[in-house]
Structures are given as structure tokens and as C-alpha cells.
Structure 1
């Protein structure tokens, strides 16, 4: 049975993801660090110590093949894919073996530009429509996989 795992640090669609897990009667797990006090009546909440990638390491440690991880982190998504899991971003884009290498390369190039003093345009401000689109994509994904 699939578990929906949410990388909650900075996740703008946590509530929508839990709503879909409840709708499809699947387990939901929220993983965050101690800087975020999250409570949920449906999802299990796991809080880890603050530290570089501590949430990511916990998620990789608890997930199993077939689980779905909601994350904005390309590195975490890559690890999830390598363990046979599914990964989706906050906009409903499914990470897969066809797009993850390009995304990781783009992240690397952007990091190098910032390191050398350059600027890289960030994402545009999130709108209500973005959350609705995520919900639709997640619902479609769950219908297909369950």
C-alpha cells in the first residue's frame, strides 16, 4: 500500500496533499524539522532535529518502493526515484528518470551562477490556482497508481 510522504519544510501544498491522502484512504506522513510545529488530525507527523538535509535523510530512510513523496527538492526526488518511489513537486510535476538529470543540472548551474555573484530568477508568487492545479494533478496520479 502506498504512503504519501510530504517534505513539509517549505511545502505550500501540505494541506492539499493530506486532503487527497484522506480521500483515497492512504497513509500520509509529514516530515519536518524542529523549526516547524505541525499537527494534523489525519497524517502522522515526524519531527527531526534541525540540520542540513535531516528531513531528506529521514524521508529516504522511511520510504519504500511505491511510495509517493511530495517535495520541491530535486536531490531528494532523485533519491526517491532510485529507491523505486514516486516523487512530485508542489506544482504537480512528476519527477521521473527522463527529467531528473536535467533538473539536477539546472540546479547545479544556478548554484554556480549565484556563487559567482549572479542572480537567477526565482519562482513567481504562488496563487490559489496553483494549489488547485496541484490537487488535480495529485488526484489524477493517485487514480492511475491505486
Structure 2
């Protein structure tokens, strides 16, 4: 059997991601490669499994970079619903920072809700933003990421570490 096992890869929409330390910890435990994608320079740990990707400042440049690489065996971490939709369609597992997975079934509803909220905000009907990020969100996220990596390993994907 000379077939190479396709590695699990994590793509982080990093500009406003509140769970980067958790991602590094889980990825390190599983030996999974992480691409930290942002429009601006971000500090990342010195680790061969963690790679910083600074894209241009163009609108959606980070989203486009991630979406072009999304595939089965990839896990995308984002709160950006249009990006989540693109990645789910490409076969990637997509998890929001609160641990909520985006699926084929949920992403359409999430897009519709997002558009409705955008319209209500534009009309001045809704002025608040999302609720503050909590410790419960953090632990739900850790669990969801662990589950996604283990599910991909069972499906035959491997860690990125040699």
C-alpha cells in the first residue's frame, strides 16, 4: 500500500477569531497543520504546524484564499456565514468560534437570518450585536473541533505531522 494519506488541514479565518489559542492547542495534540489567514500581520506561535498567511487587503481576500483550499478533509473555523457556505459546498467541515457546526442544512438558514438581521440593522430596528463570547462557547468550540478531527481521522484522513 503505497497510497499517501491525505492530511487534515485547519484553515482559520483569523482576523476576529476569539479561539486561536484553543485551535493551536487541539491541532498540536492531533498533529494537524493550521493556516492562520488574515488581512494583517498576526502573532502566531513558532511551530512548524502553524503557518501565518497574510493576504492582500482586498475585500474578502482572506475568505477567497480559504474557500479556494476548502475540500473534504479540511476544517474551516469562521464566523463568516457566506464563507462558511462556500466551504460547506466544497466539502469542508466548518465550525463557528462558538462551536456551532455549519452544515448543508444549517448554512442556508444562517445566510437567510444574517440577511434579515442586516436589513433590520439598516432600518435601525436592531442596534445590538451578537451576545458576548462566553466560557461555555469556548468549551463547546473545543469539543466540536476535537469531534471534527476525530471524525476525519476515522474517515481515513491523517495528521499533517510526519
Structures share fold, TM-score greater than 0.5: yes
Q: Which shows bigger deviation, 50-59 or 2-11? A: 50-59
Q: Which shows bigger deviation, 95-104 or 62-71? A: 62-71
Alignment counterpart, residue 86 of structure 2, candidates 76, 79, 87 = 79
- Find the structure with the greater CA-based Rg: 2
Give the 5 Å matches for 1:32-111. Answer: 32-34=38-40, 36-42=41-47, 43-111=50-118
Distance of 1:109 and 1:71 partners within structure 2: 20
Runs (5+) with no aligned partner, structure 2 = 1-6, 154-162
Do the aligned partners of 1:7 and 1:71 also contact (CA within 8 Å) in 2? yes
Distance of 1:112 and 1:123 partners within structure 2: 15
Figure out how many residues of one structure are paired with residues of the other and give that number: 145
Distance of 1:136 and 1:65 partners within structure 2: 20
Distance of 2:135 and 2:99 partners within structure 1: 14
Q: Deviations over 1:104-134 (max 9, x none)?
A: 0000101111112221542222233321221
Do the aligned partners of 1:7 and 1:30 also contact (CA within 8 Å) in 2? yes
Report runs of 4+ in structure 1 exceeding 3 Å deviation. none
Q: RMSD across aligned C-alpha pairs, in angstroms? A: 1.5
**When the two structures are superposed, what TM-score results if normalisation uses the length of structure 1?**
0.91
Distance of 2:128 and 2:148 partners within structure 1: 29
The answer to which structure, 1 or 2, has the higher relative contact order (CA under 8 A, 6+ apart) is 2
Runs (5+) with no aligned partner, structure 1 = none
Residue 24 of structure 1: CA displacement?
Answer: 0.7
Distance of 1:105 and 1:88 partners within structure 2: 18
**When the two structures are superposed, what TM-score results if normalisation uses the length of structure 2?**
0.83
Do the aligned partners of 2:95 and 2:144 also contact (CA within 8 Å) in 1? no
What corresponds to 1:129 in structure 2?
A: 136
Alignment counterpart, residue 15 of structure 2, candidates 1, 6, 9 = 9
Question: Could you say what secondary structure the match of 1:4 adopts?
Answer: strand
Do the aligned partners of 1:110 and 1:120 also contact (CA within 8 Å) in 2? no
